[in-house]
Structure 1
Amino acid sequence: MRFIIGLSAVFTIAFGGIIPLRRDFSDHLSLGNISWAGILEEGGPRVEVTGSSFEDIERQIQSTKPDFTWDSIKPFNPPAAGQGNTDTYVNCNEGSGQTSVGRIGEGIAYLRSKPGDCRAAARPAEQLRSCGRVSCSYNAAIQLCSTATNDIWMPCATIGDYAQIILNHCTQPGIIASDALVQGTKHDPTGMFVEVGDDSC
């Protein structure tokens, strides 16, 4: 599974339906890296690492702490209480196009397994939002985005929780379970939001 940088989309109405259209990278969207923060050892300081993916972040940490694994630091980074984790602010008509529910479910499990916090980077003044793609597998992407002008930190696991809320509200069943599709966004009052949809990966 790859965890890299993201893309978004807009929609147009045609023939009575909603047709997803890909948005150009330059269309009011700033793309950014993933930033993670947490404690690497008992009694140690909180550190921040930025990379192109969780795998990149893991490699950076292992360059100075070879025995690092995500599981090894869970005792020092206990799960935080839910932050705005409700079913409100869900929009099933936003996203980069429908994608596989099953693959998004894999991304949710991956994010929920990550201790520590993830950052939704402040948007540049000239852009409407910034996004970093925190999960992508077989063209099924989860993005962490922000319309705020300040950085917002939240538990990485909560990103997975928000994506699950999108699945709960926005899944369109197929003829068989494996054909089910989804896209949508889950917004937070802070200006942060999670987007689920199609992307190239």
Structure 2
Amino acid sequence: MQLTTIVLSLFGFFIVARAADSDLNLPYPLVPFQYNGILGGHNVQLNGTIQDIYAQMKELHPDFELEHAIQSRAEASNLTTHDIANTFDYYCCPVPGHKWQWALGPHILDGIKYLKGIDICDVGASSCVRIGCSWNSAIYLCNDNRFKITPMCNYIASYAKDLIDKCSEYPPVHTFLTCGQEFDTDGYNVIVREDRC
């Protein structure tokens, strides 16, 4: 009985420490991503990563088709890449001042694909949102401004793709890994890194 209590206490401590470590390793406090808009022809207000939002949509509206939503949004928008002039700077891991670990590149690519299916990725003043995460591979949007911003999600996805292009490693026994941070001249940045999902 005592051993069980000790093990459960240590497990609880590990989970709390891991969550605190994750939050402290971001430039600003982590707040939930909230999507308000039209998705699959439905006006919705949903919370979570893009993967969570799509799962909620499928539950609320069984007729919702992810591939159709992504294709429709991609066709509706001409903005799929950012202007190089808007890129302020980027860092590949190890990023100074952070202990970020490498994410699995293919899962970041999936997150990029999913982000192209929604329009606005908003984030409040001086905060970060985890906009995508699967298989412990996360995409964050952090706002350096003192006001809310509402960039297009496919624009943010292009920064994550940039980090894959610039900040990936290809170990011989594993799929490719990626980790880094890229800054926009409008006062926000995108981070790809490992984190628990």
TM-score by length of 1: 0.67
Mapped pair 1:117 → 2:120: yes
After the TM superposition, which of the residue ranges 74-83 and 184-193 deviates more from structure 2?
74-83
Q: Which has the larger radius of gyration?
A: 2
Aligned equivalent of 2:76, options 61, 75, 78: 78
- The answer as to whether partners of 1:41 and 1:76 remain within 8 angstroms in 2 is no
Query: RMSD value over aligned CA atoms?
Result: 3.5
Q: Give 2:131's aligned residue.
A: 134
Say whether residues 1:106 and 2:110 are aligned partners. yes
Q: Does 1:182 align with 2:178?
A: yes
Residue identity matched to 2:31 = G
Structure showing the higher strand proportion among its residues? 1
What are the Cα deviations for residues 24-82 of structure 1, in whole angstroms up to 9, with x where unaligned? 5498631112133444688x9xx67351233554537975x775555359379821435
What does 1:12-161 correspond to in 2, within 5 Å? 22=21, 24-25=23-24, 29-39=28-38, 49-54=45-50, 57=53, 59=56, 63=60, 67-69=63-65, 71=68, 74=72, 78-81=76-79, 84-86=82-84, 89-92=89-92, 93-94=94-95, 96-112=100-116, 114-123=117-126, 130-161=127-158
Give the distance between the partners of 1:172 and 1:100, measured in 2 at CA.
10
CA distance in 2, matches of 1:26, 1:174: 25
Which residue identity does 1:30 align to in structure 2? P
Aligned to 1:198: 194
TM, length-normalised to structure 2: 0.68
Quick one: distance in 2 between partners of 1:163 and 1:27?
16
Stretch of structure 1 that moved more, 95-104 or 149-158: 95-104
Q: CA deviation at 1:180?
A: 2.4
Partner of 1:171: 168
More helix by share: 2
Amino acid at match of 2:167: C
Q: Which runs of 5+ in 2 are unaligned?
A: 1-17
- Give the distance between the partners of 2:79 and 2:142, measured in 1 at CA: 21
Aligned length: 171
Change over 3 Å in CA distance of 1:61–1:120 after alignment to 2: farther
Indicate the residue corresponding to 2:6 in structure 1. Answer: none
Q: Amino acid of the residue matched to residue 106 of structure 2?
A: G
| Runs of at least 5 residues in structure 1 that lack an aligned partner in the other structure | 1-6, 10-21, 124-129
The alignment partner of 1:166 has SS state of helix
**How high is the sequence identity, in percent, across the aligned residues?**
26
Pair 1:152–1:55, CA change in 2 (3 A): same
Change (3 A) 1:8 1:118: farther
